[in-house]
Each structure stands twice: as C-alpha cells, then as structure tokens.
Homo-oligomer: A and B are copies of this chain.
C-alpha cells in the first residue's frame, strides 16, 4: 500500500473517533451535567481510550464546547436540508417554527443548558462559552431568517425572528424536567400565525 492509501483510512478513523467523542459529550452533559462529564467519562461512553480522547481534546472545556458547536451546526444544516419545497407563507412558517421548537426541546438544548449554567459560576469556562454562544446565536438567527424567507429590512421583522428563537429557548427550558410537548405545540402553532402575519 502507498503511504497515501494508509493515511486516508487513518484520517477517516481519526474523524470517526472525534465524532463519537462529540456525540458522547452531548449525551453525558444532558444526562450527568457538567460536573459528571469528565473527559474519562465521555471517552468511556464513546468506547475510546482516555489517551486517544485527550489527543483530540486536551481538556473537558475543549471537548464540551466543540461538541455544542458541532452538534448545533449539524442541526442547523438539517433545518436547511429539511425545508420543504414551499414558498414563504403560512405553511412554511409553521414548518420552520415547529422545527426550531423541537430543536430547542432536544437533548442538544439540555446539554447546552448544562454548559451555560456551569459557565455562569466559573469564569474560565465563561471565557470559552461566551464567544461560542455568540457564534451559535448569530448562526441560528441567520439560518432562521433564511428558512423563513424573512425580509429584515421591514420594521418589526428582526424582532419577530429574535422572539421566535427566544420563545423556543423558553419552551426548551419548560421541557427540561417534564414532558411539555402538548402545551409547546399549542403555543408554537399560535406563534406561527402571529409570526406569519408579522412577516407578510
């Protein structure tokens, strides 16, 4: 085998290991919280040796922030790909509002929440989380505008898009300890009508 042929599978394995670690970090954070999600615990969950995990992510801060960023980007890309072939309007707005609502009611949100709350009483962690939050927030806003086909130059539209994300975050929080799916669905259906009126 040529050197190149050997290198490629190694790179694939390395990428696969990295992605297993990122997915396991989300699981651990959501289930065990920040305190319980050490690199060793995450490595074990991922079926990866501790040494290999630390090769990819020297500290828990590195691992966990990378996991939140990676999974959020995956989810946002999924939102874009999943958009039905609908013109901007009521049905499309409903689809986007529902998809965002479900995204914030997911394990990803619980994991991110653990990270935010840990960062609120840990200044070193906060330094990593604040810029991550800003990037993720901007990206979520941009993708939502694009998905809705919203024209932010019109008065009130920017605030209505922001309110959609803030509302989804609030509903995600209401879902943390109990299953709030039925109430969430009613609130989001009503919001989709309001938002559609604001957009058009």
Contacts and interface: CB of A to CB of B under 8 A. Distances in A.
Contacts of A133: 177-178
Interface string A158-200: 0110110111111111101110000100110111011000100
A36 interface: yes
Contacts of A14: none
A165 B170 contact: yes
Given A160-B190, A171-B166, A130 B32 contact: no
Question: Which 8 residue pairs are nearest across A and B when measured between Cβ atoms?
Answer: A170-B170, A169-B170, A166-B170, A159-B190, A33-B121, A117-B117, A167-B167, A166-B171
A32 B121 contact: yes
Interface residues on A, range: 35 or more
A36 B121 contact: yes
Nearest to A32: B121
Contact of A166 (B113, B129, B156, B174): B174
Nearest to A113: B117
Nearest to A110: B120
**A contact patch SS:** helix
Interface in A1-48: 31-33, 35-36
B163 A166 contact: no
A173 B170 contact: yes
Nearest to A165: B170
B169 A174 contact: yes
A169 B165 CA distance: 12
A126 interface: yes
Interface centre among A32, A168, A169, A198 (most CB of B within 10 A): A169
Contacts of A170: 165-173
A99 interface: no
